[in-house]
């Protein structure tokens, strides 16, 4: 059997982390990748057991089962329609299963599989996934994995985004609770076979409405209804870290309380473009113990990392005097070597200004740009900005529930309220901290650039 796969599909087939998510956009070859990967695993590991889930039986029959019958050689594979099981000559098997209701998970209560696969994971609920996750087990020594593929959207969008997108940088293995997890993104442009056989498919995706186009063409996960920062686009606002030039101005902004310290180091270039380069996100709201002022001050000193910091922007409530001591939190920070700069805490005006900084425009090269961009290491800020919702009573303000999502955006709002000054203007070719060959977009990760 001659097998042809794209680079993205091969990466999916080669991944044996505890949990793997593949896809994002339409046309990336998700289902084909699952079917080929299942075949390769079955042939490599005799008497292995796999299961492939879709939400309903008709979906299974019209997609995964039909395609597998077309691809798998009859000399090594046979399919029994009565129990929806495929068997191989070496004793391996694949069960094709559905899980239409929450109670359906108990059909697999005593089952065990080497690999569990979900096609269109966002069609499932989180409780279904977590229960079936426990069925991945065995004593045969074969690699065990739960491998899923999906597009954004659907009833499971939020939990899949939280589990794989918000905490995992693309293609980077994360170690969480003793297990490994990875997200492997793929778009139609990664699928050369489809681009060649059906070049008009991308045009049909481009003709979709904005929300569907973002999900299916761009693979964008930040498409929830009621998002407060609908300007935010990971493909534009999130970027790979680069070396910050010495003459750029550096600032720190923070939101502080015993529940959370959210602090960010930000560099400003000569054109007043801001780059969020590092974060502290520590407190009770993310499972920590909270930091007293002396501990928070120590963490802020670590964040400075020897750089000259022009100002540490903070909200005015930190200057309120405490009844028991008569001291303010700002005063306590000063006693611990951190002098804060007081800024306005006006919510509506601050949010409107932040939206302006996130607004996407075309730069002098015709490339998408924004005044505020974030290094991909600042995962909590990226997560919170993308998930923050509008207040249903006041659309000009953000929702304060869940409160955990407000700390990081608040800190950035204080930075903007501090009216940071730009560095001395630099030549246009140094605008992004790179020198570009043929004036390429700074957001094209495939292009080569030189760090200055």
3-state secondary structure the chain: CCCCCCHHHHHHHHCCCCEEEEEECCCCCHHHHHHHHHHHHHHHCCCCEEEEEECCHHHHHHCHHHHHHHHCCCCCEEEECCCCEEEECCCCEEEEEECCCHHHHHHHCCCCECEEEEECHHHCCHHHHHHHHCCECCCCCCCCEEEEEECCCCCCHHHHHHHHHCCCCCCCCEEECCEEEEEEEECHHHCHHHHHHCCCHHHHHHCCCHHHHHHHCCCCCCCCCCECCCCCCHHHHEECCCCCCCCCEEEEEEEEECCEEEEEEEEECCCCCEEEEEEEEEEHHHCCCCCCHHHHHHHHHHHHCCCCEEEEEECHHHHCECCCCCCEHHHHHHHCCCCCEECCCCHHHHHHHHHHHHCCEECCCCCEECCEEEECCCHHHHHHHHHCEECCCCCCCECCCCHHHCHHHHHHHHHHHCCCCCCCCCCHHHCCCEEECCCCCCCCCCCCEEEC
Question: 172 is in which domain, residue-wise?
Answer: 7-216
Q: Please tell me whether residues 311 and 166 are part of one structural domain.
A: no
Q: Please tell me whether residues 26 and 108 are part of one structural domain.
A: yes
Grouped pLDDT means (10 residues each) for the chain, 452 residues: 82 94 81 93 97 92 92 95 95 94 88 95 90 93 95 83 87 89 87 74 80 76 79 92 95 95 96 96 81 95 93 96 84 96 94 95 87 95 89 85 89 96 66 39 37 32
Which pLDDT does position 324 carry in this prediction? Answer: 75
In a domain, 230, yes or no: no
Which residue, of 194, 216, 238, is where some domain finishes?
A: 216
Which pLDDT does position 358 carry in this prediction? Answer: 96
In a domain, 229, yes or no: no
In a domain, 56, yes or no: yes
Q: Please tell me whether residues 182 and 304 are part of one structural domain.
A: no
Domain count, the chain: 2
In this structure, what CATH number is given to the domain that contains residue 164? 3.40.50.300
Q: Please tell me whether residues 275 and 390 are part of one structural domain.
A: yes
Closest Cα to residue 77, out of 248, 68, 336? 68
Q: Please tell me whether residues 197 and 254 are part of one structural domain.
A: no
In a domain, 320, yes or no: yes
Q: Please tell me whether residues 319 and 171 are part of one structural domain.
A: no
Q: Please tell me whether residues 207 and 117 are part of one structural domain.
A: yes
Q: Please tell me whether residues 42 and 174 are part of one structural domain.
A: yes
Q: Please tell me whether residues 259 and 187 are part of one structural domain.
A: no
In this structure, what CATH number is given to the domain that contains residue 257? 3.30.420.280
Which pLDDT does position 439 carry in this prediction? Answer: 33
Q: Please tell me whether residues 146 and 281 are part of one structural domain.
A: no
Q: Please tell me whether residues 204 and 281 are part of one structural domain.
A: no
In a domain, 243, yes or no: no
């Amino acid at each position: 059997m001659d097998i042809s796969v794209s680079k993205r599909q091969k990466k999916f087939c080669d991944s044996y982390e505890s949990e793997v998510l593949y896809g994002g956009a339409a046309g990336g070859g998700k289902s084909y990748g699952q079917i080929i990967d299942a075949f390769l695993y079955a042939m490599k590991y005799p008497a292995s057991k796999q299961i492939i889930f879709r939400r309903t039986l008709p979906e299974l029959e019209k997609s995964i089962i039909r395609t597998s019958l077309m691809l798998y050689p009859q000399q090594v594979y046979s399919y029994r329609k009565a129990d929806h099981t495929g068997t191989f000559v070496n004793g391996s098997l694949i069960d094709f299963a559905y899980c239409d209701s929450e109670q359906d998970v108990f059909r697999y209560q005593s089952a065990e599989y080497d690999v569990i696969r979900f096609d269109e994971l966002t069609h499932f609920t989180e409780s279904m996934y977590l229960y079936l996750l426990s069925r991945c087990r065995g004593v045969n020594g074969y690699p065990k994995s739960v491998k899923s593929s999906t597009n954004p959207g659907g009833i499971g969008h939020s939990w899949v985004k939280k589990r794989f997108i918000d905490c995992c940088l693309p293609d980077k293995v994360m170690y969480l609770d003793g297990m490994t997890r990875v997200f492997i993104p793929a778009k139609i442009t990664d699928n050369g076979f489809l681009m060649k056989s059906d070049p008009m498919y991308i045009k049909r995706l481009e003709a979709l409405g904005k929300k569907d186009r973002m999900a299916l063409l761009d693979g964008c996960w930040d498409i929830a209804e009621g998002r407060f920062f609908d300007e935010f686009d990971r493909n534009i606002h999130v970027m790979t870290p680069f070396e910050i030039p010495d003459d750029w101005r550096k600032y720190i902004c923070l939101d502080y309380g015993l529940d959370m310290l959210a602090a960010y180091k930000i560099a400003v270039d000569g054109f007043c473009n801001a780059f969020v380069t590092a974060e502290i996100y520590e407190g009770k709201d993310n499972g920590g113990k909270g930091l007293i002022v002396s501990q928070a001050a120590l963490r802020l000193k670590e964040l400075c990392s020897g750089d000259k910091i022009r100002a540490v922007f903070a909200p005015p409530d930190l200057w309120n005097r405490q009844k028991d001591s008569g001291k303010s939190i700002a005063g306590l920070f000063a006693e611990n070597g951190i002098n804060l700069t007081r800024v306005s805490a006006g919510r509506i005006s601050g949010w409107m200004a932040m939206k302006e900084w996130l607004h996407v425009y075309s730069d002098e090269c015709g490339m998408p740009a924004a005044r505020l961009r974030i290094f991909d290491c600042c995962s909590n800020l990226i997560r919170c900005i993308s998930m923050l919702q509008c207040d249903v009573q006041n659309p000009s303000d953000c929702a304060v529930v869940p409160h955990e999502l407000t700390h990081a955006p608040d800190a950035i709002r204080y930075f903007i309220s501090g009216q940071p000054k730009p560095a001395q203007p630099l030549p246009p070719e140094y605008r992004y901290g790179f020198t570009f060959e043929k004036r390429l977009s700074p957001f094209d990760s495939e292009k080569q650039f030189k760090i200055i």
